[in-house]
Structure 1
Amino acid sequence: MSLDTASLPSRTGPEELVPSRYAVQIGDIEVLIISDGVLPLPTKMLGHNVAATERATWLNEMFLPQDAFDWSLNVVVVRSGNQTILVDAGLGLDPNLNLPKAGQLIKRLAAAGIDLASVTDVVLTHMHMDHVGGLLVEGVKEQLRPDLRIHVAAAEVKFWEAPDFSQVNMPAGFPDALRATAKRFAQEYRSHLRPFDDEHEIAPGVIVRRTGGHTPGHSVVRLASGGDRLTFAGDAVFTVGFDHPDWHNGFEHDPEEAARVRVRLLTELAATGEQLVATHLPFPSVGRVAVEGDAFRWVPAFWDY
């Protein structure tokens, strides 16, 4: 991967009318944010612990539809030293799910000139299916290096051996799909897993840190080089979380802890001024965090052409 080539337009069909990758330089570290598409979900998932009228007010203020809208799915490719690191792997292509606008990662990696065989490491923020599914697409494993290292919190691997869905609020079918995908992923890639406890350095300037909350082993990836910093927050932060960090997302397995994690992380990012990228913020999701009263404000970065 090189920012000189990854940012250039490539031949695309009519279905690729909008950008699907965006390059950022963090000191000596190259970062490429790639859209895995969008996932249509009910708006109740944004805050199932508040009244429908409160959600409706926020959606109206944001000019968003009331019933369902498309959540972005963002994945990051990082180049540090001689390592190429894939942070999360997208949704994949589950034939039992009718999600035609998601699962675009593999073709978009190819369009960006990134060979799967060049990936030395994968970091998983957690093992929900929209973060591991791309590795389960037919033919993908055969293209990966036999010495590929997959870094994931040990608590996350343990959780999915007998996952607890008692506090989530998901549409019907999602718990079964999440459980089945995590089980299949663990079986197929067990020999590649490199579990860590709380924090682990993947490459120079690339550190993964367990936060918990969203899932017990949920983690964020911090990049630092030459005075520049960027955090990939996975599912710790959603769009509504800036205005309402106490709203519970339907996919959170421990929503109270997830809210505490969100506030701590946003407070820290506002203090440092570093850049933030997250899975479900609107693509390319690069921006910064400001404090606004008792809540926060999302400040999108100006696109760098």
Structure 2
Amino acid sequence: MFSLENTIAPAAPALDELVPSRYALKVGDIDVLVVSDGVLPLPTQMLGHNVQASERAEWFDEMYLPQDAFDWALNVMVVHSGERTILIDAGLGMDPDLQLPRAGQLIRRLGAAGIDLREITDVVITHMHMDHIGGLLVDGVKAQLRPDLKIHVAASEVAFWKSPDFTRTNMPQGFPDALRATATHFWAEYGSFVHTFEDEHEIAPGVVARRTGGHTPGHCVVRVASGGQALTFAGDAVFAVGFDQPNWHNGFEHDPEEAARVRIELLNALAGTGEMLVATHLPFPSVGRVSREGEAFRWVPVFWDF
């Protein structure tokens, strides 16, 4: 089992890491580790392609962010429940053609956290975009995984990627081809490991995957609950702008209107319960809660526990 230590031991400083790349917490009796896979620079238009550039510019100004492109966080989670160690999403991987040297750090950072890939009993894929499955395609990774590894994916997600539809997305040139190729590669390598579910599936005690759709047809979230506490890993259901502007369309959403409906429903539910939220593209470690602000929402980051 991984350590819940959030600090770097003074005797062994990680000289190549000037900022933290993992954050541990407990949800009741369940251990959770948020791990950064790095950052992915993308055009700012990707956060709201259905609104005027001036509207996006105003939001980025208010957030003290650049107007042309900014770094999307890439977060994954490791959950230890009972005898099972569950990896939720697998990061971008290390495709040299992508020229993204600050992403694809997951495998190295799992090792730095003391997590042996052979410990992982289950992988939950929130959806099959390349920044959620690519880490499993890094050279040498498959050979280190258990032969009885279970990879959990919604059945509708698997069906979608057999013939994906990008007509309603708004991605930079080349991304649809890269996404399609990565999903095909993933299925060729790991199809025999995949266990599909329809709408909801318990992975381990207190760890439940639930299909939401929207971002992709089989997109799912994962709720971790124990001892009266709960945390939801929202995958790509929520982006940084989604609290202030939940109806803005993200360029990677295959059904933008449904994605907005899913986002608002999820944020409303979390605001009502006060349960914690982690999402792939919120600033690391992305652990926070949700408050309502009129027709919009507010992300409330947790105070770090040292």
Q: Give the TM interval when normalised to the shorter protein.
A: over 0.9
Change (3 A) 1:267 1:8: same
Whole-angstrom CA distance in 2 between matches of 1:98 and 1:171: 15
Residue 7 of structure 1, CA deviation: 2.8
Q: Which residue of 2 aligns with 1:80?
A: 81
Secondary structure, counterpart of 2:162 in structure 1: coil
Whole-angstrom CA distance in 2 between matches of 1:46 and 1:190: 32
Whole-angstrom CA distance in 1 between matches of 2:231 and 2:225: 7
Whole-angstrom CA distance in 1 between matches of 2:263 and 2:153: 20
Let me know the Cα RMSD of the aligned residues: 0.9
**Gap regions ≥5 residues in structure 1:** none
**CA deviation map 1:219-254 (0-9, x unaligned):** 000011000000000000000000000000000000
Residue 119 of structure 1 pairs with residue 133 of structure 2: no
| TM-score calculated relative to the size of structure 2 | 0.98
**Gap regions ≥5 residues in structure 2:** none
> Superposed, which structure 2 residues align to 1:148-227 within 5 Å?
148-227=149-228
Whole-angstrom CA distance in 2 between matches of 1:97 and 1:285: 25
Q: Which residue of 2 aligns with 1:7?
A: 6
Secondary structure, counterpart of 2:98 in structure 1: coil
Whole-angstrom CA distance in 2 between matches of 1:99 and 1:80: 33
Residue 24 of structure 1, CA deviation: 1.0
> Superposed, which structure 2 residues align to 1:10-159 within 5 Å?
11=12, 13-159=14-160
Residue 95 of structure 1, CA deviation: 1.4
| TM-score calculated relative to the size of structure 1 | 0.98
Residue 150 of structure 1, CA deviation: 0.1
Residue 2 of structure 1, CA deviation: 3.2
Residue 196 of structure 1, CA deviation: 0.2
Whole-angstrom CA distance in 2 between matches of 1:244 and 1:113: 39
Secondary structure, counterpart of 1:180 in structure 2: helix
Residue 9 of structure 1, CA deviation: 1.4
Runs of 4+ residues deviating >6 angstroms: none
Whole-angstrom CA distance in 2 between matches of 1:276 and 1:116: 25
How many residues align? The count is 304
Change (3 A) 1:30 1:13: closer
For 2:126, the aligned partner's letter is: T
Residue 14 of structure 1, CA deviation: 3.6
Secondary structure, counterpart of 1:3 in structure 2: coil
Residue 288 of structure 1 pairs with residue 289 of structure 2: yes
Whole-angstrom CA distance in 1 between matches of 2:40 and 2:60: 17
Whole-angstrom CA distance in 2 between matches of 1:187 and 1:107: 24
Whole-angstrom CA distance in 2 between matches of 1:195 and 1:187: 16
Secondary structure, counterpart of 1:56 in structure 2: helix
**CA deviation map 1:62-90 (0-9, x unaligned):** 00000000000000000000000000000
Q: Which residue of 2 aligns with 1:299?
A: 300
Whole-angstrom CA distance in 2 between matches of 1:121 and 1:113: 17
For 2:6, the aligned partner's letter is: S
Aligned-pair identity (%): 72
Whole-angstrom CA distance in 2 between matches of 1:216 and 1:108: 30
